[in-house]
Structure 1
């Protein structure tokens, strides 16, 4: 499979804004707002193959974030085949809804009846990504508990000239140092090559807006339903060890991910949860 395979879906809003999704992983591959260039990083070495995760775009991490549990890293949703529920063009937007349900394969490693829906809406200079989960079990079934993230890879011109505003005052877990710390000011990557390898979970972000800035571009990110935000970049050393990413491309991307990690979501049978990440190019 490739990015332009029959398993890919292209959304085009009436104003020309575009997005491309893959049924493999329920994966957003591309977003081009009106008057703007590509906003997401997608590795040219991504493997579009069954059972393989795509490097870049917006992977769906579910029902486990990273190695925080007994499931495969980041869970199974990002390597599963989703189905297209609907695709439509409205008066001023374009929308697609994808779905993933439990199967023999998922129940073998995660014994829950569930339904995930991923909704992607594109219009003008904005993109909305919504992830919803429903516990579809019987009334006497056990609750299901999960962590999740929209693992958004932003394309940047040069990571060395990027800042992230809106995180000041928050505690974070540094996965590189395996320690918690306090973010005392905005995250400035300018001139700080030593900051990389960057892998942080910021807790309690909730609905506060974030601003990712570089020399000629500003992008706002806001989330609902997701309490936490992950900021990640592999840095040059770790990137060189990734088979599905060119070694120099660490400087062309920054992940800013809407996530629920610190407090896992728990659903009783019949209950639902919804999380959203909204991006706007200023």
Structure 2
């Protein structure tokens, strides 16, 4: 039968050893969720580990199978290759079931966000729905017109757009806070969206350098077709902002119910 043992190695790392009757095995560290050994039936090591690897937090361990998350290399706002490889993971006490097998051993690991993580990327938990497939004017591209291709809008850089002929309901879903802001409007067909991100935030005199991490501007607007009133005519614009307790990650909130009522 497959075996799984957990022990602290000579470097003080909690280490999981998986083995099966054929003689093959794998070793996984809770630090970084990193596979540091994989041996076949002949006990041959299949993974490279640097002879000079630094086995001491907060350094990453060179070799094996590291987890790069939430970014690869410098392609993002987090530290190089992300922070997941520098954190201690936990063993999932209620893992997803696998197909029955007499020859395979497995372990499920979990990494949960900390308050420090959320300071780095709180907008990763925010998405805007209700604007998909719409045309928008991109103020970062001299108001060039584009069509929104994403099913939901998420944020990893500066955004300054005007969405045209937008619906009367727009949902701003905050997974981390487990709530949704619902913007209802009438008489204002367009919608603006703005987040300056890090570089632009430093050029705005009355905005803190780190404020962009905790803000998102979504507002009602009339931009494409100005309102023209004749004598004695009137125009009414209406906007309502409300919140709904929700957890989209767990399926408790279906955005379609908020936006379209079904």
The structure with the largest strand share of the pair is: 1
Regarding TM over 0.5, the answer is no
TM-score range, shorter chain: 0.3 to 0.5
Bigger CA radius of gyration = 2
TM-score (normalizing by structure 1): 0.41
